[in-house]
Structure 1
Amino acid sequence: MIPEPVRVGVVDSHVAERGPTALRIAIGGQLRRLREKSGITREDAAEYIRGSHAKISRLELGRHAFKERDVQDLLSLYGVTEAEQRELFFGLVRRANQPGWWHRYSDLLPQWFETYLGLEGAAQTIRTFEGQLVPGLLQTEDYTRAVVAVGHKSPDSARRVELRRKRQEILDLPGGPSLWAVLDEAVLHRTIGGKAVLRDQIEHLIEMSKKLNVTIQVLPYRAGGHPAAGSSFTMLRFTERELPDIVYLEQLTSAIYLDRREDIALYREVMDQLAVRAEPPRESLALMIAAAESL
């Protein structure tokens, strides 16, 4: 009896719109499911493509670009033999191997931030605490221009503002990530760019808080000390169950990515505490309205 050919699962059509990192993660998940369905271990798959267990793990996590030869061999091993199915898969692989939208700004971006942009676009949930500035995904162009002017005295300022605006588009994509931001109340009173710029920025936060996929909380001064005092951080969570959460800590000239279980647990606990101490969304909205009216 001839075995029925294995069919490749469907990748959500919205995934590709979120960039090559999101697509690589989706393809990696497909490869993992095909391997598991075939009852093949990572070790056996690695031996078949003349690689290592770690290489199969990286492929299934979407951590690197794919070599078509490896994908061809793995699909054959997993029983995907229909030409149409294989070509569909290779088409996705080619799209996943293309540079991200941010590639045109690569002359402005350090490698560590290019990595973050890919992960941000691939995330299902973005949770962030900001103690100094409005998070980049929520900034107005004038506010961004003022922030950029402080750190980058160069003719590239306009492109840096454009880059941040382009980055914000993920919040409007179908199937895009949800954003949950906790802002220290100080963010609403630090006059970046002057009072008019700050007022427009706060009004923008008020409008953004009405979006279904955006939650904004304000941590008021009266909350006193808190476990994240003196720091800002972002947590990314992904749809694929195999992918661990990632904590992103940005520094002046580099960034730290944490994915160890104990680190994630600590930051998740801190984020939960901040959310509890911060005003609920409705009361946070009132604080934002009052801050805007005071300017």
Structure 2
Amino acid sequence: MTKPSGTPRAVALGAALREVREAKKFGLRELSRALDLNPSLVAHWEAGTRIPSIEDVSTMLGFFRVIGEPKRRIMDLARHLRDPNWMAAGEAELTPELTTLLQCEQGASTITNWSLNIIPGLLQTPDYARAIFEVGLTPQQADARIRVRLDRQKILTDADPVIYSAIVSAHAIDEPIAPDWVMSDQMDHLLAMTGRANVSLRILPRQQHWHPGMSGSFVLYQYRHRNPIVLLEQYSTTSFLSSDKDWGPYQRLAKLLAEEALSEEASRELIAEAAR
């Protein structure tokens, strides 16, 4: 049985099943014929918009002879697909939650990002990203993370780019995360990105009072045909929220922060000043 989905686990499972199929060099129709399935149904599974049964997932993995840890990980996703939220922890370069993040971004029509302390990942330069990743990671791991980050950024510049709205705290502009020349280049990059019609960047000035955004950064992914997903990232834990009671407050918080933020023009002036 299938039903409309779009939960974080369904998105992660779909990505995992597609990776298995492509690794075995099977086309979508070729696999569908081999397993006597409707190609559009399999496409929905891979997109995370429909839920396959545990038996269907097991059959597909058996067909491709997937065993060991990869099978255990995928079957664990299949057993908990209907959970609307997902908290995951990991340290590998391409963890399941990072794969899910990539899928959330690729399918979104609109992304709203509130960033409290750093420049959002989709707007980071390689040098700025390296200043973050080189703390606690090996050079090889940092390189892998940077490659993934740069690849992610293509959703802002491809032929049909996502609508991206970022509200960034003034702390992120002022914080000397990297050497001066890196920070200056980063500010120049922000100015260049704000010239794109699909990108909105606004700075939230330092507040004289507490506001809910101080509780932490978040990303809100919105879609044309399924519920939004909220991403929360901490030091070693990533949470995806997709139940109505969870993403609704973040929509309201994004609106509240937008009301307090500088205009786009005033934000560009502040960023240009920081670039000098």
Fold in common (TM above 0.5)? yes
Instruction: Compute the displacement of 1:68 (Å).
Output: 2.2
Matched AA of 1:272 = K
Secondary structure of residue in 2 paired with 1:57: coil
Q: C-alpha distance in 1, partners of 2:266/2:249?
A: 27
8 A Cα contact 1:223 1:278, kept in partner: no
Quote the sequence identity (%): 27
Q: Is residue 261 of structure 1 aligned with residue 244 of structure 2? A: yes
Q: Is residue 245 of structure 1 aligned with residue 239 of structure 2? A: no
Residue from 22, 26, 32 that aligns with 1:68:
32
Summarize the Cα distance change of 1:108–1:141 in structure 2 as closer, same or farther, 3 Å threshold: same
Cα deviation digits, residues 236-274 of structure 1 (max 9, x gap): 00122xx10011101222211111212222111111000
Residue from 192, 197, 216 that aligns with 1:212:
197
Instruction: Compute the displacement of 1:147 (Å).
Output: 0.9
Matches within 5 A, 1:13-92: 52=1, 55-58=2-5, 63=11, 64=14, 65=17, 68=32
Matched AA of 2:156 = L
Summarize the Cα distance change of 1:60–1:281 in structure 2 as closer, same or farther, 3 Å threshold: closer
Q: C-alpha distance in 1, partners of 2:159/2:35?
A: 28
Matched AA of 1:186 = H
8 A Cα contact 2:7 2:242, kept in partner: no
8 A Cα contact 2:217 2:232, kept in partner: yes
Instruction: Compute the displacement of 1:225 (Å).
Output: 2.6
Residue from 144, 155, 161 that aligns with 1:159:
144
Aligned to 1:37: none
Q: C-alpha distance in 2, partners of 1:117/1:263?
A: 21
Summarize the Cα distance change of 1:149–1:277 in structure 2 as closer, same or farther, 3 Å threshold: same
Q: C-alpha distance in 1, partners of 2:262/2:148?
A: 31
Instruction: Compute the displacement of 1:203 (Å).
Output: 1.1
Structure 2: give runs of 5+ residues left out of the alignment: 19-30, 49-90
Summarize the Cα distance change of 1:199–1:60 in structure 2 as closer, same or farther, 3 Å threshold: closer
Residue from 281, 286, 290 that aligns with 2:264:
281
Instruction: Compute the displacement of 1:151 (Å).
Output: 3.4
Q: C-alpha distance in 2, partners of 1:213/1:59?
A: 24
Q: Which has the higher contact order (CA 8 A, sep 6+)?
A: 2
Structure 1: give runs of 5+ residues left out of the alignment: 1-51, 75-85, 98-105
Matched AA of 1:170 = I
8 A Cα contact 1:129 1:181, kept in partner: yes
Aligned to 2:177: 192
Secondary structure of residue in 1 paired with 2:4: helix
Secondary structure of residue in 1 paired with 2:164: strand
Q: C-alpha distance in 1, partners of 2:44/2:244?
A: 30
Larger Rg: 1
Instruction: Compute the displacement of 1:154 (Å).
Output: 3.8
Instruction: Compute the displacement of 1:219 (Å).
Output: 0.2
Aligned length, in residue pairs:
217
TM-score in terms of structure 1 length = 0.66
Aligned to 2:218: 233
